[in-house]
Structure 1
Amino acid sequence: MKSRRFSASGGVAVALASALTLCGVLAHAAEPLKANVIHWWTSGGESAAIRQFADAYDKAGGQWIDNAVAGADQARATAINRIVGGDPPTAAQFNTSKQFHDLIDQGLLNNVDTVATKENWAAIFPQSILDSIRVNGHYYATPVDIHMQGWYFYSKPLFQKAGITNEPQNFDEFVGDLDKLKKAGVIPLAFGGQPWQEKITFDAIFADVGGQDLYLKVYRDRDVNAVKSDAFKKVLASFKKLHDYVDPGSPGRNWNDATALVISGKAGVQIMGDWAKGEFSAAKQSAGKDFGCFPGFGPHSPYLVAGDVFVFPKTDNANAIKAQNLLATVMTSPSAQVAFSARKGSIPIRPDIDASQLDVCAKEGIAIMKDKSRQLPNPEMLVTPDVQGALTDVITNFWNRNQSVDDAQKAFAGALKG
């Protein structure tokens, strides 16, 4: 009797162990594809936007592990340190640029050719974007948005208060509007005095005042004679003129704090990438009603194409590779693209989407992108990070010090040579 009870207990134990083993196998089989994602989207609008990708990834069978790092430079440095240190994330954010090309050259990134081929990226994405993500025939990054870094956002109530009835059609009209805002007792130009903000403001003025030909001669062709021209001198002088219209609190100000000045009615205009719309949206303000936007002066102004991508660090882990491919698929899907862009302020990377949920600024951007003659690559697509850094230093020095246009012109030419 005792022996039989022991035998029965043993049978139960075996059955229980088998059941637990089976549960473990099933649990392992159903385990979602974990994706540790490094990015720098930490402001209110940005956080709401990246959540759209995270939710879409989770619904597709993954598990998004968010790794937000404040500041683009810091986020990129964190990603690179982890890659080099042998603890790579599943994906990491970079700008649509040459920033990640060194990682490609060193064999530190996986490609997502399978997804790119299946989704026909070559036929869908703009050429300037393809030129950044496709190297030696392989796709090493997934583009997630198209940003235009030179939008002009303005407070419609303050424009009305200052007696401004139309959007400026050239730089002189813009300066005239800034004068009107100054007389109305508000900060004319909301400005964040950080090097990267100073550089994108300069490039917005460069594209509008200098024109596409001069812009490409300088950034694409690195033509020093173009930098030494009177036309480029005019660009520098026009940029520095804006210094008359910023407030004393601008040095060191974050971009979203500058946007908040426009939102709160303390400042009239901000020159910023269309990611600023995410802050207006988070503040429950609507494009065309509470604030206005224009992508440059006049109907034929250049449209500076920029954006963000996610790269996929090298790994041989089968599940990690599956997670990378799933991220690439989800992030570029039409539904996730619309949901993300509606909150981020960007326009979708692909044209075959339903734009009805997007605001008037985004719809204008989508329409402009159909005109290839207005598309102009942002400088980071055309020069190396080292050259971009050197040029940014020149512009920052010129903006913040009592430097002559001639001296700035010489310094820019020297930095362009590398």
Structure 2
Amino acid sequence: MTKFKTFALGMLTAAAAQPVLATDLEVTHWWTSGAEAAAIRVISEGFQKSGNTWVDGAIAGAGGVARPLITSRITGGDPMGATQFTHGQAMRELIEAGFMRDVTEVAEAQGWKDQIFPQSLLDSCTFEGKLYCVPSNIHSQQWLWLNNAVFTDNGLSVPQNWDEFVAAAPKLREMDIIPLAQGQQSWQKQLMFNVLMVSIGGPELFERVYAGRDADYAAGSDVAKVFKAAAEARDLMEGSNVQAWNEAANLMISGRAAGQIMGDWVQGEFTQAGMTAGEDFSCLPGLGVNEYITAAGDAFYFPKVDDPEIIAAQDVLAGVIVSPETQVEFTKAKGALPVRRDVELRDPTPCMEKGMAILKEGHIVESINTMVSPDTVGRVTDLMIEFFADPSFSPETAQAEFAEIIATAD
């Protein structure tokens, strides 16, 4: 019997041995694009096989809209049964305040410590020795995605790095093609800047600025190169007048744009559109410069409740999320990487294989959300909103304001 079948049989036997406490469980999340909806369906269908009912609480508008709504419900006494969220200080504050339930017993019973990789995923869920979340997938942000045909049909080679991409932009503009598709939502502006921090500046620069709070370094020549690249990106984005990241992806899919800086979840949209990685589109980790990625991804958290049926359903959902069967199907649909070291990807794309290789090499950086407070993240985001919206906002002025933020960061 295979390891997977043994695990699945064990899950079924354990479920059969438990008293039936089937109930409705409201699960909030911000996965509403085509690929995301297909991915969350994998989890919901696996959960409903237990006899419980998944009550879908999708919130359109991605994390920038969903996070405050989710937080306000939990703190306001109207908690959902479970919620998708990202690792970071925002959820840590709710844990410290006593709003969230730990799932340590479930994790120990199912051996998560031996199977979930990298260890940082569990570390991000841990507070005072207890585990408060279930890692669902690994996502990285530091990717440049390219529509190959846009380049080859216009007599251009497909770029292999950021500088080649920038150099191709004038020819693309001549053909009425937007070089860089990018949504206008605030979190996407912050994402783009921090991708440039890691990919153009390098992982040491990123960590020295955010983890080290080195304001003098943030004002110096190394970080100036990042702001120069941000100004280039601002020029390349002109004409990309859409809001959501998947709308920007559609600009690229349709050939109206050549590339997009976005996390690896975007490849799920390309796959749904019938595009093949390595043939129709290319992916450059670290923008082809510094091949380092974040490995934070998403997790599910469980607010404290008094209802034993809800608690039992929370435990069932926790087990479903990390089960090998779910991990294989969910990550395939979402364009993510699995959190378990003992599963094999089903028909992985070349981009997924690149991501796995980078993880195995240990070329991982922390997310800004785990290094500084939500307030500091918000201040950086506000600066990037202003910078990317105003072509007259010089990179030198923006860098000076950024250094001031880092000087008072917490």
Contact 1:190/1:267 (CA < 8 Å) preserved in 2? Answer: yes
Measure, in 2, the Cα distance between the counterparts of 1:199 and 1:243. Answer: 13
Deviations 1:337-391 (A, max 9, x none): 111111111111122212133322112211211111x111121121111110001
Are 2:218 and 1:227 equivalent residues in the alignment?
Answer: yes
Structure 1 counterpart SS, 2:202: helix
Report matched runs for 1:348-359 at 5 Å.
348-359=338-349
Partner of 1:192: 183
Specify which of 196, 199, 206 is matched with residue 205 of structure 1: 196
Contact 1:76/1:92 (CA < 8 Å) preserved in 2? Answer: no
Structure 1 unaligned runs (5+)?
A: 1-28
Partner of 1:24: none
Partner of 1:3: none
Partner of 1:265: 255
Structure 2 unaligned runs (5+)?
A: 1-18
Specify which of 156, 176, 191 is matched with residue 164 of structure 1: 156
Report matched runs for 1:381-400 at 5 Å.
381-400=370-389
Specify which of 166, 173, 191 is matched with residue 175 of structure 1: 166
Structure 2 counterpart SS, 1:389: helix
Measure, in 1, the Cα distance between the counterparts of 2:366 and 2:275. Answer: 30
Are 2:82 and 1:102 equivalent residues in the alignment?
Answer: no
Specify which of 357, 362, 366 is matched with residue 367 of structure 1: 357
Measure, in 2, the Cα distance between the counterparts of 1:120 and 1:367. Answer: 24
Deviations 1:75-121 (A, max 9, x none): 33332233233331110121122220111111000000012212333
Contact 2:178/2:240 (CA < 8 Å) preserved in 1? Answer: no
The one-letter amino acid paired with 2:48 is D
Contact 1:394/1:412 (CA < 8 Å) preserved in 2? Answer: yes
Partner of 1:93: 84
The one-letter amino acid paired with 2:375 is D
Structure 2 counterpart SS, 1:99: helix
The one-letter amino acid paired with 2:152 is Q
How has the CA–CA distance of structure 1 residues 74 and 300 changed in structure 2, closer, same or farther, with 3 Å as cutoff? Answer: closer
Partner of 2:6: none
- How many residues are aligned here? 387
Q: Which runs of 4+ in 1 moved over 6 A?
A: none
Partner of 1:149: 141
Report matched runs for 1:246-395 at 5 Å.
246-250=237-241, 253-298=243-288, 301-372=291-362, 374-395=363-384
Specify which of 237, 242, 249 is matched with residue 228 of structure 2: 237
Q: Once the 2 structures are TM-superposed, how far is the Cα of residue 297 of structure 1 from its aligned partner?
A: 3.9
The one-letter amino acid paired with 2:121 is I
Contact 1:76/1:93 (CA < 8 Å) preserved in 2? Answer: no
Partner of 1:125: 117
Deviations 1:205-232 (A, max 9, x none): 1111111111100111111112011000
Contact 2:21/2:309 (CA < 8 Å) preserved in 1? Answer: no
TM-score by length of 2: 0.89
How has the CA–CA distance of structure 1 residues 356 and 242 changed in structure 2, closer, same or farther, with 3 Å as cutoff? Answer: same
Q: Once the 2 structures are TM-superposed, how far is the Cα of residue 282 of structure 1 from its aligned partner?
A: 2.2
Q: Once the 2 structures are TM-superposed, how far is the Cα of residue 307 of structure 1 from its aligned partner?
A: 1.1
Deviations 1:121-178 (A, max 9, x none): 3332213322321111111111111111121111111121233335424x32231133
Are 2:192 and 1:218 equivalent residues in the alignment?
Answer: no
Q: Once the 2 structures are TM-superposed, how far is the Cα of residue 328 of structure 1 from its aligned partner?
A: 0.9
How has the CA–CA distance of structure 1 residues 191 and 78 changed in structure 2, closer, same or farther, with 3 Å as cutoff? Answer: closer
How large is the RMSD of aligned CA atoms in angstroms?
1.8
Structure 1 counterpart SS, 2:352: helix
The one-letter amino acid paired with 1:101 is R
TM-score by length of 1: 0.88
Partner of 2:27: 37
Measure, in 2, the Cα distance between the counterparts of 1:399 and 1:299. Answer: 22
Partner of 2:10: none
Specify which of 127, 130, 136 is matched with residue 138 of structure 1: 130
Q: Once the 2 structures are TM-superposed, how far is the Cα of residue 249 of structure 1 from its aligned partner?
A: 4.3
Partner of 1:20: none
Deviations 1:287-342 (A, max 9, x none): 22222212124485111223111110012322211111111110011110111111
Contact 2:293/2:364 (CA < 8 Å) preserved in 1? Answer: yes
How has the CA–CA distance of structure 1 residues 84 and 195 changed in structure 2, closer, same or farther, with 3 Å as cutoff? Answer: closer
Partner of 2:56: 66
Contact 1:259/1:270 (CA < 8 Å) preserved in 2? Answer: yes
Q: Among the aligned pairs, what percent are the same residue?
A: 38
Measure, in 1, the Cα distance between the counterparts of 2:73 and 2:233. Answer: 41
Q: Which of structures 1 and 2 has the bigger CA Rg?
A: 1
